[in-house]
Structure 1
Amino acid sequence: MMQARDGSRSALTRIHGHLPHLWRSGITALPFDKTETRIALLRIFSRALLLLLIALGLLLAVVLYYIVNPRLPDYVPVEQVRYQDQWSAADRQTYYFTPQGTQVKGLHYDWFTALELPFSEQRFAAPEYLARFGFLVDPKQGPTAQNPGNLPVGFARHKNADSNIEYLDITCAACHTGELHFKGQALRIDGGSAQHVLPSSVPTLRGGSFGQALVASLAATYYNPWKFERFARQVLGDRYEAEHRQLREAFKQSLNRFITVAWNDTHRGLYPTQEGPGRTDAFGRIANASFGDAISPDNYRIANAPVDYPQLWDIWTFDWVQWNGSAQQPMARNIGEALGVGATLDFFDSAGQPLQGQARYPSSVRVRDLHLIEETLQRLKPPTWPQDLFGAIDKPLAAHGRALFAENCAACHVPTVTQEPGRAVQHLPMLTVDYIGTDPTAATNIADQRYDLSALKWDTAELAALNVQLHPKQSEPLDLKSLSVAKGLAYVTAYVEDHAYRAAGVTPAERPNLDGFDQPIGVRELRAYKARPLAGVWATPPFLHNGSVPTLYQLLSPQDERSVTFYKGTFAYDPRHLGFETGAFKNAFLFDTNITGNHNSGHEFRDGKRGDGVIGRGLLPQERWALLEYLKVLGGPLEQQLP
């Protein structure tokens, strides 16, 4: 018996001695060993999971930090803003702060002025902060009756007819006013090209967009109780106790609209080509808002063709407008722009049924104010070269440049002019993308992308009665399941225009004037870009429709002499090469011409067969300098002084 027990102990000892070997072999034979092993594995797994969660938390914190703390250029105030004699001071204020009916996702004006930055109590709407996004402020500016919030150029406010709410209104001056900085001075270019980063709310780590930063401040205000308390007391004053809850609910509704758009744009990848300073895919954004958001998600299209904001002097004399010459009537053009920036538009009733008859289509656009802006722009003159700031004109060199301009540029950039009722009309040449060779994406998207608007239940006979003219005239019936953005917007704006005219009490006698010289809503779909007159072109960098060439000197050079990449986001002007400086600076935007929509090809002066981007003979460096000297004075009083 003893021997048996000793034998058993001996066997157990042998087994115990082999356990490490058995464990390494993946063999577990005893119940208590399985339990300990499971506990050990759980500990290892728990620690690994904890480390993973900590790492993900740190990564999320870094991402959120950069999303709510956009990497922006520093604000460097100028010593003085110099205003040119392009129009009167009264016209300037009218243009800067007349609303057009945009509502910026329902954001109230006093909400915007009371917002704080996410991690401080500094006002989001402080001029020195908004200037970091590229919006234009004057260091000497202060609140006025037209601008009580002391906001940058183009930030206005309006009330709708059925409401006392003042909405934040971004008007056309925000995108069509420029500035050039040199030696501590700012030269304001009224009607020029803006350089702000306004449109996108898609979150990125770089976070340089106004839209993204605004959403971050809105979210921080709503979810941080201390911030919302300060915000509510600032907005409501002595109405705080009675309206605090109502304010929070209304604020959340606006925030939800911003977040919905940001999520939609992000997960659908609608804007793969980053717009950066001074650009937006205008037609793409208008189509996605009007046909995608408002009608059907099936109508969302990739918008990968950002374009610069064009200068506006003399635009009222052009026969066709938009970079691709697709629009004709001023009022319809301006209504389309307002819809793209955020004017409300209702296609359906509360039951989800398409609106019919005279119910089509209520919106927040302000047609009388749009006409006031248009009339004001008719008095706008091109900027003139400031010799005391940028240097004296070399008149003999400019005279040489005049001869070179006549030889190489006038055929495209000096349009024919006809006299029509109320104005002299400039007929701008349209250059096909195959000939001009510049990035075709904007023109082809507008001409080729199709949208299904059949849910609106339009009657084609009713469409034919609208003030819309298709060029060329269409013989086949319209296919409402496959309309281009140009045609779709033409009919939408025709309905919006009719409704807005009735709401504003516009009489039939007034209408031709508000339309703009009694023009119809003309529509063209050309795979082409217009060649516009070049008065004041020196003040409108960068160049080409997509802003892919930083200076006029490079535009007169072959493509292989142009910058493949360069930095944007500065107002620092280069008066020698006529463009913005292109070197690196803090949080600059890197523009890459290899990306779709950004190509810097075409419009080349290069020896060889004309077409496919070659528009003229190669120019010697001294000839380019002479042309630049002439472009400084073209269309201005200094041109008359040339020998």
Structure 2
Amino acid sequence: MKRKSRFWPILLGFTVLVAAGLYYVVRMFSVDLPDYPKVDKVTWLEQNWSQSQRGWMHHADQGTVTFSMPYEWLAALEQPTFTLTAGPPFLSSDYLDRFGFITADSSGLPVGFAHGGDLVDPKTAQPWVNPATGKPLTTVGLTCAACHTGRFTYKGTAVMVDGGPALTDLGKFRKASGLALFFTRYAPFRFDRFATAVLGPQADEKARAVLKKQLDKVLAGGQIEVDLDKKVAEKSIEEGFGRLDALNRIGNQVFSLDLERPENYAAQSAPVAFPHIWDTSWFDWVQYNASIMQPMVRNAGEALGVRAFINLTKSEQPLFASTVKVDTIFEIEQQLAGKQPTAETGFTGLRPPRWPSNLFGSIDTKLATEGAAVYADRCQGCHLPPVGSEGFWEQKHWTNENSAGERYLRVPIINVENIGTDPAQAQSMAERKVKLPSELGIDTDSFGSALGALVAKTAARWYDNQTPPVPAEQREIMNGNRQNGIQAPLAYKARPLDGIWATPPFLHNGSVPTIDALLSPAGERPKTFWLGNREYDPDKLGYLTDELKGGFKFDTAKPGNSNAGHEFSDTPGPGVIGPALKPDEKAALIAYLKTL
């Protein structure tokens, strides 16, 4: 009996240790995601695009290979769960929805995924082939719509907004896709299923061995990035749903991973909310910190950051050769921009959505009229007269016509010390340095200027490589009839507020969940809140912020996450832009903003 009494505590202790170990392993090799209720109806708001234009934009291939693997691999992956039998497909629309990706109506891929042509590595000029058949494999990557298509739900209806800020968590998705590849390589029986799906059931062992080597190479590349992330982890800030440190990530991709220079890898220390992009084609400067002038440099730079392949290191092949599709990027910009906006036509490309009164309720017109006066008094000095108003089209708000007969909106730029919002994004752009080899012919170590020069050389390589080469006058048009201007002011843009109600969260870093909170003194704004909720609050104009299992807890005390500034308060101080709004003034202004 004594032996038995000693045995059970030992067995219990062993069982607890095993359970704890399994729990740790499962947590380490899992991705915690929200569960969302099913919606009864999906509606796309009218924004001056036809159904065919919308469908094209949602899957336009800009040449990215975001996941460092061909489409055929991604389609064969299983979700990263522990199972000996076949797991559910990674590309399941229900699974991708939990990361924030929107299910497309007719395509097998979600909004923002693009399936392209043959995957050719510009470092070798060789295609990535199926080792069983010898046929080239094809590209898959993210396109503009992945980050710039908004969605919110309200009482069972999902409302979609083209050009709005997405509520995706790319960090969770990056982890999940990496784990799916890792499981494919090492989980029992999973590689066999993967090989059969990719190569076909008749593939021999030699082809399977080559496939395994290809997989090992991709995993090794992913491990390099994981190791670099660990080195900068103390200074990095988790981005969460709806945010990305876009400029630093572009810099890391191009100047560290593509250039094979680990010393150029920087912390992701300045996350920003995905911006809405209607009107922006006609801004004189883009990015939150007004740092880039030329549309082609901005857009092709984004494609490189989302992992278009580029040759920056192999002298046997042309430097700056890439998979970037400059022609498609030009077409994307054209569809966004439309023709030159005028007082008669307004903006003729993508337009902001109108308030859906049938869903959210009618706007109180009397209150909105009162709010117009509040806007003119409190907002118009920075955010310009309302889009479409007579004052908006006054010449003082626009540049002079250039040689192409185009003029651009002068978007006010406000110094950080005056607006008082978190300075991290502006500072990061201004202060970052990169080390470059002389072979690239870029004679600056300033991150912004170096990026602008590199992207321009990449576009020029594409122009030169066409048959015949693209003539100079057409290059000017495709570049947006603007020079390659780069600046890094310690400042942020104050863009027009048309459609602002459809673009939560607010401030450049997404640190304020609703317009109601933004119009309140900073001390009354939420110190922490949850991102990932999709349900919209039509009174406060923003997402609900209740705790969400699998969501992202936003902590405004962390560096880069400050919710200070842009403050209406009776207590003077940094970032105070006017006296506190009275309750009736705030209610009137909110009603008016719904009309924009």
Whether the 8 Å contact between 1:568 and 1:588 is mirrored in structure 2 is yes
Cα offset, 1:339, TM superposition: 1.2
Matched residue SS, 2:562: coil
| 2:269 counterpart of 1:304 | yes
Matched residue SS, 1:104: coil
Whether the 8 Å contact between 1:549 and 1:555 is mirrored in structure 2 is yes
Counterpart residue number, 1:371 = 330
Matched residue SS, 1:82: strand
Whether the 8 Å contact between 2:59 and 2:112 is mirrored in structure 1 is yes
Match of 1:153 among 104, 111, 119: 111
State the Cα RMSD in Å.
2.3
Matched residue SS, 1:450: coil
Whether the 8 Å contact between 1:134 and 1:197 is mirrored in structure 2 is yes
| 2:364 counterpart of 1:390 | no
Counterpart residue number, 1:66 = 27
Whether the 8 Å contact between 2:303 and 2:324 is mirrored in structure 1 is yes
Counterpart residue number, 1:499 = 461
Counterpart residue number, 1:97 = 59
Counterpart residue number, 1:189 = 161
Per mean C-alpha deviation after superposition, the further-off stretch among 500-509 and 340-349 is: 500-509
Match of 2:576 among 589, 599, 614: 614
Query: For 1:1-20, what aligned pairs fall within 5 Å after superposition?
Result: none
| 2:361 counterpart of 1:361 | no
| 2:316 counterpart of 1:344 | no
Inter-CA distance 194–364: structure 2 relative to 1 (3 Å threshold): same
Whether the 8 Å contact between 2:537 and 2:543 is mirrored in structure 1 is yes
Q: Deviations over 1:80-106 (max 9, x none)?
A: 110122111111011100111111253
In structure 2, distance between residues paired with 1:572 and 1:68:
29
Task: Give the letter aligned to residue 67 of structure 1.
Answer: M
In structure 2, distance between residues paired with 1:270 and 1:291:
21
Per mean C-alpha deviation after superposition, the further-off stretch among 160-169 and 228-237 is: 160-169
Query: For 1:535-574, what aligned pairs fall within 5 Å after superposition?
Result: 535-574=498-537
Cα offset, 1:419, TM superposition: 5.8
| 2:38 counterpart of 1:82 | no
Q: Deviations over 1:2-42 (max 9, x none)?
A: xxxxxxxxxxxxxxxxxxxxxxxxxxxxxxxxxxxxxxxxx
Match of 1:433 among 416, 421, 427: 416
In structure 2, distance between residues paired with 1:504 and 1:617:
58
Match of 1:278 among 242, 246, 253: 242
Task: Give the letter aligned to residue 532 of structure 2.
Answer: G
Identity percentage over the alignment? Answer: 40
Match of 2:427 among 433, 444, 461: 444
Counterpart residue number, 2:214 = 250
In structure 2, distance between residues paired with 1:110 and 1:571:
32
Whether the 8 Å contact between 1:324 and 1:526 is mirrored in structure 2 is yes
Whether the 8 Å contact between 2:568 and 2:581 is mirrored in structure 1 is yes
Whether the 8 Å contact between 2:448 and 2:486 is mirrored in structure 1 is yes
Cα offset, 1:167, TM superposition: 1.6
In structure 2, distance between residues paired with 1:500 and 1:270:
39
Whether the 8 Å contact between 2:416 and 2:491 is mirrored in structure 1 is yes
In structure 1, distance between residues paired with 2:20 and 2:250:
35
Structure number with the higher helix fraction is 1
Inter-CA distance 382–249: structure 2 relative to 1 (3 Å threshold): same
Counterpart residue number, 2:346 = none
Q: Which has the larger radius of gyration?
A: 1
Whether the 8 Å contact between 1:105 and 1:258 is mirrored in structure 2 is no
Cα offset, 1:55, TM superposition: 8.8
Inter-CA distance 183–105: structure 2 relative to 1 (3 Å threshold): closer
Whether the 8 Å contact between 1:67 and 1:212 is mirrored in structure 2 is no
Inter-CA distance 526–59: structure 2 relative to 1 (3 Å threshold): farther
Cα offset, 1:271, TM superposition: 5.8
Q: Deviations over 1:138-162 (max 9, x none)?
A: 5xx34xxxx3xx1211011222466
Match of 2:554 among 591, 600, 612: 591
Match of 1:231 among 181, 184, 194: 194
In structure 1, distance between residues paired with 2:13 and 2:114:
48
Whether the 8 Å contact between 1:196 and 1:277 is mirrored in structure 2 is yes
Q: Deviations over 1:504-537 (max 9, x none)?
A: 4433232111101x21110111000000010000
In structure 1, distance between residues paired with 2:197 and 2:262:
39
In structure 1, distance between residues paired with 2:77 and 2:234:
29
Inter-CA distance 504–195: structure 2 relative to 1 (3 Å threshold): farther
Inter-CA distance 331–261: structure 2 relative to 1 (3 Å threshold): same
Whether the 8 Å contact between 1:317 and 1:423 is mirrored in structure 2 is no
Inter-CA distance 122–422: structure 2 relative to 1 (3 Å threshold): farther
Whether the 8 Å contact between 1:283 and 1:485 is mirrored in structure 2 is no
Per mean C-alpha deviation after superposition, the further-off stretch among 245-254 and 587-596 is: 245-254
TM value normalised by structure 2: 0.86
Per mean C-alpha deviation after superposition, the further-off stretch among 444-453 and 239-248 is: 239-248
Counterpart residue number, 1:581 = 544
Inter-CA distance 234–618: structure 2 relative to 1 (3 Å threshold): same
Inter-CA distance 55–254: structure 2 relative to 1 (3 Å threshold): farther
Match of 2:284 among 308, 319, 327: 319
| 2:136 counterpart of 1:136 | no
Q: Deviations over 1:224-248 (max 9, x none)?
A: 2411222222222355337333322
Matched residue SS, 2:189: helix
Cα offset, 1:573, TM superposition: 0.4
Counterpart residue number, 2:593 = 631
Inter-CA distance 485–620: structure 2 relative to 1 (3 Å threshold): same
In structure 2, distance between residues paired with 1:570 and 1:502:
47
Whether the 8 Å contact between 2:312 and 2:440 is mirrored in structure 1 is no
In the alignment, structure 1 segments of 5+ residues that lack a partner are 1-49, 201-208, 464-477, 635-643
In structure 2, distance between residues paired with 1:183 and 1:312:
27
Whether the 8 Å contact between 2:101 and 2:146 is mirrored in structure 1 is yes
Task: Give the letter aligned to residue 292 of structure 1.
Answer: S
In structure 2, distance between residues paired with 1:367 and 1:534:
30
| 2:226 counterpart of 1:262 | yes
Whether the 8 Å contact between 1:278 and 1:308 is mirrored in structure 2 is yes
Whether the 8 Å contact between 2:241 and 2:551 is mirrored in structure 1 is no
Inter-CA distance 486–218: structure 2 relative to 1 (3 Å threshold): same
Per mean C-alpha deviation after superposition, the further-off stretch among 171-180 and 370-379 is: 370-379
Whether the 8 Å contact between 1:75 and 1:129 is mirrored in structure 2 is no
In structure 2, distance between residues paired with 1:407 and 1:334:
36
Counterpart residue number, 2:130 = none
Cα offset, 1:361, TM superposition: 1.1
Task: Give the letter aligned to residue 152 of structure 1.
Answer: P
Whether the 8 Å contact between 2:59 and 2:114 is mirrored in structure 1 is yes
Inter-CA distance 232–271: structure 2 relative to 1 (3 Å threshold): farther
Q: Deviations over 1:558-585 (max 9, x none)?
A: 1011000001111110000000001112
| 2:380 counterpart of 1:417 | no
Equivalenced residues, count:
539
Cα offset, 1:288, TM superposition: 1.7
In structure 2, distance between residues paired with 1:527 and 1:334:
22
Counterpart residue number, 1:24 = none
Task: Give the letter aligned to residue 325 of structure 1.
Answer: A
Task: Give the letter aligned to residue 363 of structure 1.
Answer: S
Inter-CA distance 369–270: structure 2 relative to 1 (3 Å threshold): farther
In structure 2, distance between residues paired with 1:181 and 1:384:
16
Cα offset, 1:436, TM superposition: 0.3
In structure 2, distance between residues paired with 1:272 and 1:58:
32
Cα offset, 1:272, TM superposition: 2.2
Inter-CA distance 589–374: structure 2 relative to 1 (3 Å threshold): same
Cα offset, 1:391, TM superposition: 0.7
Counterpart residue number, 1:124 = 90
Whether the 8 Å contact between 2:165 and 2:273 is mirrored in structure 1 is yes
Counterpart residue number, 1:529 = 492
